[in-house]
């Protein structure tokens, strides 16, 4: 006599079924970033720009300030992108100028992030009079006209790449400071921070080794956007005649050819287009990082 089959509860089946291991957060963030078309376009554009500006000068072996043809020679002849008002090759200037523009943008962004994160971290962690004092200083810098303040600093200390980068970094850290302060206010009462205090960890360790790594996601996004802002700042200063006259940059090309824009539009438009594409690429990467590092976005992906 055959026995009737014994029904196995569904809960028992689910309990014995192998579970898929959850993906690591870093892998999830990379997956979300890679599936973002805008972010991938930004990476591609920035990779091309970096390749041209980093390796182009070594391949061309030319002087961007050398006069090689008649002034304002239009594109399409011996010079692919024409010449400027002095007869300098626009293509050579763009290849060499991109290196200086990107260098100023990166250095200024790093300095801006360093100041902003330090001020925001100390204000958010300690609170009280430290927070009040640092936030009043932040508000003072925030209400100053940033471009005008940068112009004053560059004029006082002579225009050079280092001066321009420092000036841009000094005037553009306030947004990062407020962002870092908010993150530290949110994280400093978490259980793992309280546990560090219980075991006697120093404030420096808690700030830089415990809280800061957990606050990096929005700060990384802010850093990418700061690079684009710094590039625009450098172009604006050079446009106003405050760039380094001894180093070719995209901003210097626009500023020096500004009076001749109607006769030689290419000498102004092409460097301006290069700045636009670079800032667009950095902004697209920043948006992609924002989506990838946001837990809510990873959950919807």
Return the pLDDT at 18.
45
CA distance 270 to 32: 34
How confident is the model at residue 57, as a pLDDT? 87
Tokens of 273: 């287009």
Is residue 96 domain-resident? Answer: no
Q: Please state the rounded mean pLDDT for residues 226-245.
A: 85
Adjacent-strand bridge partners of 88? 67
**pLDDT band at residue 2 using 50, 70 and 90 as cut-offs:** very low
Q: Poorest-confidence range of 78-82, 90-94, 165-169?
A: 78-82
**Helix pair 25-34, 37-60: axis angle to 10 deg:** 80
Q: Quick check: is 19 in a domain?
A: no
* HSE (side-chain half, CA atoms, 13 Å) at 193: 19
Average pLDDT over residues 70-92: 88
Domains in the chain: how many in total?
1
Q: Which of 113-117, 234-238, 282-286 has the lowest mean pLDDT?
A: 234-238
What are the CA-CA distances from residue 232 to residues 35, 105, 159, 252 (Å)?
29, 8, 16, 12
pLDDT at 299: 45
What is the per-residue pLDDT across 32-67, written as a single tens digit (0 to 9) for each?
Answer: 888 889 999 999 999 999 999 989 888 888 889 998
The answer to the question of residue 277 being in a domain is no
Task: Give whole-number Cα distances, 177 to 136, 219, 273, 300, in Å.
Answer: 12, 10, 31, 30
pLDDT in tens, 184-199: 999 988 898 889 888 8
Q: Which domain holds residue 198?
A: 105-247
Helices 128-143 + 90-126 axis angle, to 10: 150
Q: How far is Cα of residue 63 from the mean position of the Cα atoms in its chain?
A: 29
Asked, for residue 239, whether it belongs to a domain, the answer is: yes
* pLDDT digit string, tens, across residues 84-138: 999 999 999 999 998 888 999 899 999 999 999 999 999 999 989 999 999 999 9
* Inside any domain, residue 234: yes
Would you say the C-alpha torsion 79, 83, 88, 94 has a positive or negative sign?
negative
- Confidence at residue 217, expressed as pLDDT on a 0 to 100 scale: 83
- Is residue 111 one of the residues assigned to a domain? yes
Q: What is the average pLDDT across 257-278? A: 91
Task: Establish if 93 belongs to a structural domain.
Answer: no
- Cα separation values, 264 from 247, 248, 255, 269, 270, Å: 22, 18, 13, 9, 11
The single residue listed with the structure tokens 């946001």 is 294
Average pLDDT across the chain, whole number: 84
Whether 143 is in a domain gets the answer yes
Per DSSP (E only), the strands in 131-286 are none
Asked if the model's pLDDT at residue 141 lies above 60, the reply is yes
Torsion on CA atoms 75, 54, 228, 117, rounded to nearest 10:
-170
CATH label of the domain that carries residue 148: 1.10.3720.10
């Amino acid at each position: 006599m055959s026995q009737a089959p014994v029904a196995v509860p569904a809960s028992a089946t689910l309990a014995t079924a192998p579970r898929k291991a959850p993906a690591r957060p870093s892998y999830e963030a990379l997956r979300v970033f890679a599936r973002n078309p805008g972010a991938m376009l930004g990476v591609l554009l920035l990779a091309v720009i970096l390749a041209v500006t980093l390796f182009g000068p070594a391949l061309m072996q030319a002087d961007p300030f050398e006069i090689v043809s008649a002034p304002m020679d239009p594109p399409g002849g011996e010079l692919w992108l024409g010449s400027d008002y002095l007869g300098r090759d626009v293509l050579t200037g763009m290849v060499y100028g991109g290196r200086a523009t990107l260098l100023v943008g990166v250095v200024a962004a790093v300095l801006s992030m360093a100041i902003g994160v330090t001020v925001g971290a100390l204000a958010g962690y300690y609170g009280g009079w430290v927070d009040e004092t640092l936030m009043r200083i932040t508000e003072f810098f925030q209400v100053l006209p940033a471009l005008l303040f940068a112009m004053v600093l560059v004029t006082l200390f002579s225009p050079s790449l280092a001066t321009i980068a420092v000036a841009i970094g000094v005037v553009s850290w306030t947004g990062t400071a407020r962002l870092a302060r908010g993150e530290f206010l949110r994280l400093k009462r978490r259980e793992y921070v309280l546990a560090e205090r219980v075991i006697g960890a120093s404030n420096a360790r808690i700030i830089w080794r415990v809280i800061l790594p957990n606050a990096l996601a929005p700060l990384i996004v802010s850093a990418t956007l700061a690079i684009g802002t710094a590039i625009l700042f450098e172009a604006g200063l050079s446009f106003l005649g405050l760039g380094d006259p001894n180093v070719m940059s995209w901003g210097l090309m626009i500023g020096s050819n500004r009076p001749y824009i109607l006769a030689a539009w290419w000498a102004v438009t092409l460097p301006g287009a290069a700045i636009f594409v670079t800032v667009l690429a950095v902004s697209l990467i920043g948006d992609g990082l924002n989506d990838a590092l946001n837990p809510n976005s990873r959950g919807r992906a």
